[in-house]
Structure 1
Amino acid sequence: MSFLIFSISAIIVVLAAIQLNRFGDVISHKSSLSGAVVGTFLIAGATSLPELTTSLTAVYIDNPDIAVGNMLGSNVFNILILAVVDMIYRKNKMFHGINPKQHLPSAIAGIIFTTVVGLSLIINSSFSIFNIGWEMFILVGLYIGTVKLFETEEDAEMNEAAATGKDYSLKTSSIGFAISAIIVFIAGSALSISGDQLAQQTGMSSSFVGSFLIAASTSLPELVTVLVAVKLANYDMAVGSILGSNLFNLQLLAITDMFYQKGPILNAASSSHLLLAVLFIGMTALTIFMIIRKQSSNTMRYVLPSAIIVLTYFASSYFIF
């Protein structure tokens, strides 16, 4: 029964998050929000909402491993999405069609943010402010700095991001966005609770359920966003939405820590999450290489880094869990 509820909840989360993405994109085009903020922050925030609702519910049922694993696992899965889509559409050479200056800051920031999380897992310090871990304040500060950087380096080309449903009015889109957010909240809560029950019934660890099963489910909206952007040849939106979502997820980890009343949430999480953080850093480093490398006409040579990311993901998943 838990597996059925888990599956149904995952489907509802995906469908509702797709609507979040659609309405969020319309809002971005019909409001005064800047183009660079669209892919990296607004759309990324919309598609990251399932991770927030799922992790907050995990905190409510006192399962910090699902809460932390969901965030870190989603980030790893997001990079996997980019690599898989890049392999499928390898002839398009997606990374050759982007502006590196737009994406390097968010990619590098993702590594820095995750390094902070990794160091916190290693140090395992009990120091906190209002029961919130010290590392969360650093993450928020770094995120604010990244936002400022994007505002100063905005590229007007991002305003050309394709939207689905542009015929909606700003008011209709705002209402639709709010309704979709509520549905995501309810379905995300059910996803977390059923995932916790699934772990207990099957004997799987909560860290595995959170880092892979739930993380994959809540990352499916990002997959839809990337596929739509790639089909429309809007590669900047495809890459920006993933890298931005990763940054946003780590900020949601800080919000999750605020609601965890037993001290810093990373102190209560499994040490296996450190390996997940290292995996993300390695995969993102390869992504940075794909962003800055020279263009190549050889398709096999071009797609090699993405293939390495995919193989690394599955090999690491096997050894970690």
Structure 2
Amino acid sequence: MVYFLFILAVIVTVLAAIKISTYADAITRLSSVGSLFVGTFLLAGATSLPEVTTSVTAVFLENPDMAVGNVLGSNLFNLSILAVFLIIYRHRAILSSVHKEQRHTAILGVLMTTFVVVALFYTIEIPVVNIGIESLVLLVLYGLSIWLLRGADEQNSDAGDEKVTEEKYTLKHAITGFIIAAIIILISGSVLTFSGDQIAILTGLGSSFVGSFLIATSTSLPEVVTVYVALKLNNHNLAAASIFGSNLFNLLILVLCDFLYPGSILLAASPTNIYTGGFLLLSSLVVTIAIFRAQTKRLSIALPLFMLLFYASSMVLLYLLR
């Protein structure tokens, strides 16, 4: 029964993600908001709702390993998603054609990940607000990302190809559909958490491994679908922004978990999460380099392959250390 619930939640999540991606693309065309902002905050926040429910529920289940592993594993998987699409669509030079503001979100992602990795070794708790110093830094850096993108107007640069077909949605319809799809993703994320926790117990694989890979992969399915749909719509900015924005938002989830958990959730988590965090940092550095450098044919293959290697290495290492 638990496996059936898990698979059902995965299917519902995928279907909802397809719709939410289409609605997000429509909102960028019908409103004055560019795809960079929509992808980085609106779409990324919505597709990260399963991670929110999963990690928060794991806190109440007193399973800090699953909470932290889900966030770090989801971010690592998100970059692997991007790597796969970079290889498939290598002739498009996706990262070379995205808005220059994407560099800011990529750099902030590296900085936020660095603070999380350091906090897995050592952190200073702030008793008044029940969070560690790294959580406060994460809040500041996320706020900085909003400030940096506040004036980014991509209305003229979003259209990868001119569409003469009649608009399928009104703005009101797109926003309403987006909200409904987000709620469905939120609910399915909760089901993924409970079923995943039971699978970890039944299989004996351990919460770190299950949280970092089984659940993290499942809760990242919306990102897989949104990137694919965005690329099919030839909206490179929306595709890249949804990944970078999701990773920023996911790290922010750790702040909420840290607030809800008695003590530091990062220190309470298993030391094996350090390996996931380390590989995530390496992968984040590689994708940041890819954005800043001109994409030659060799680099367009080599850099994504490194990102996939980091993901595979972390999965094997965590399985051996479970």
- C-alpha distance in 2 between matches for 1:30 and 1:239: 20
Alpha carbons 1:25, 1:43 under 8 Å: kept: no
How far the C-alpha of 1:42 sits from its partner, in A, is: 1.2
Structure 2: tracts of 5 or more residues without a match: none
Match of 2:83 in 1: 83
How far the C-alpha of 1:153 sits from its partner, in A, is: 4.7
Structure 1 segment 25-104 matched on structure 2, within 5 A:
25-99=25-99, 101-104=100-103
Match of 2:305 in 1: 307
- C-alpha distance in 1 between matches for 2:210 and 2:204: 10
Structure 1: tracts of 5 or more residues without a match: none
Q: Compared with structure 1, are the counterparts of its residues 120 and 157 closer, same or farther at alpha carbon in structure 2 (3 Å cutoff)?
A: farther
Which stretch shows the higher mean deviation, 261-270 or 275-284?
Answer: 261-270
Q: Percent same amino acid at aligned positions?
A: 43
Structure 1 segment 1-321 matched on structure 2, within 5 A:
1-99=1-99, 101-157=100-156, 159-160=158-159, 167-258=168-259, 260-296=260-296, 299-321=297-319
How far the C-alpha of 1:154 sits from its partner, in A, is: 4.3
Alpha carbons 2:33, 2:153 under 8 Å: kept: no
Q: Compared with structure 1, are the counterparts of its residues 22 and 60 closer, same or farther at alpha carbon in structure 2 (3 Å cutoff)?
A: farther
RMSD: 2.4
2:288 maps to a residue whose letter is I
1:118 maps to a residue whose letter is V
- C-alpha distance in 1 between matches for 2:154 and 2:27: 19
- C-alpha distance in 2 between matches for 1:167 and 1:205: 46
Alpha carbons 1:126, 1:267 under 8 Å: kept: no
Once the two structures are superposed, residues 267-315 of structure 1 have per-residue CA deviations (whole angstroms, 9 ceiling, x without a partner) of: 321112222111111111111221122242xx34531111121122112
Q: 1:193 is paired with a residue of what secondary structure? A: helix
- C-alpha distance in 2 between matches for 1:124 and 1:295: 38
1:311 maps to a residue whose letter is L
Alpha carbons 1:78, 1:246 under 8 Å: kept: yes
- C-alpha distance in 2 between matches for 1:257 and 1:19: 32
Q: Compared with structure 1, are the counterparts of its residues 5 and 140 closer, same or farther at alpha carbon in structure 2 (3 Å cutoff)?
A: same
How far the C-alpha of 1:90 sits from its partner, in A, is: 2.2
Once the two structures are superposed, residues 102-125 of structure 1 have per-residue CA deviations (whole angstroms, 9 ceiling, x without a partner) of: 211111100100111111111144
Alpha carbons 1:128, 1:263 under 8 Å: kept: no
How far the C-alpha of 1:136 sits from its partner, in A, is: 1.4
Once the two structures are superposed, residues 145-171 of structure 1 have per-residue CA deviations (whole angstroms, 9 ceiling, x without a partner) of: 1111112454444543799x9533333
Q: Compared with structure 1, are the counterparts of its residues 239 and 24 closer, same or farther at alpha carbon in structure 2 (3 Å cutoff)?
A: closer
How far the C-alpha of 1:84 sits from its partner, in A, is: 0.7
Alpha carbons 1:35, 1:158 under 8 Å: kept: no
Once the two structures are superposed, residues 7-45 of structure 1 have per-residue CA deviations (whole angstroms, 9 ceiling, x without a partner) of: 111221222233333334434444443443112111111
Q: Compared with structure 1, are the counterparts of its residues 304 and 241 closer, same or farther at alpha carbon in structure 2 (3 Å cutoff)?
A: same
Q: 2:202 is paired with a residue of what secondary structure? A: helix
Q: Compared with structure 1, are the counterparts of its residues 295 and 200 closer, same or farther at alpha carbon in structure 2 (3 Å cutoff)?
A: closer
Alpha carbons 2:57, 2:190 under 8 Å: kept: yes
Q: Compared with structure 1, are the counterparts of its residues 153 and 181 closer, same or farther at alpha carbon in structure 2 (3 Å cutoff)?
A: closer
- C-alpha distance in 2 between matches for 1:170 and 1:294: 37
1:121 maps to a residue whose letter is L
Q: 1:168 is paired with a residue of what secondary structure? A: coil
How far the C-alpha of 1:141 sits from its partner, in A, is: 1.1
Q: Compared with structure 1, are the counterparts of its residues 76 and 128 closer, same or farther at alpha carbon in structure 2 (3 Å cutoff)?
A: farther
- C-alpha distance in 1 between matches for 2:220 and 2:310: 18
Alpha carbons 1:31, 1:170 under 8 Å: kept: yes
How far the C-alpha of 1:128 sits from its partner, in A, is: 3.7
How far the C-alpha of 1:247 sits from its partner, in A, is: 0.6
Alpha carbons 1:86, 1:94 under 8 Å: kept: yes
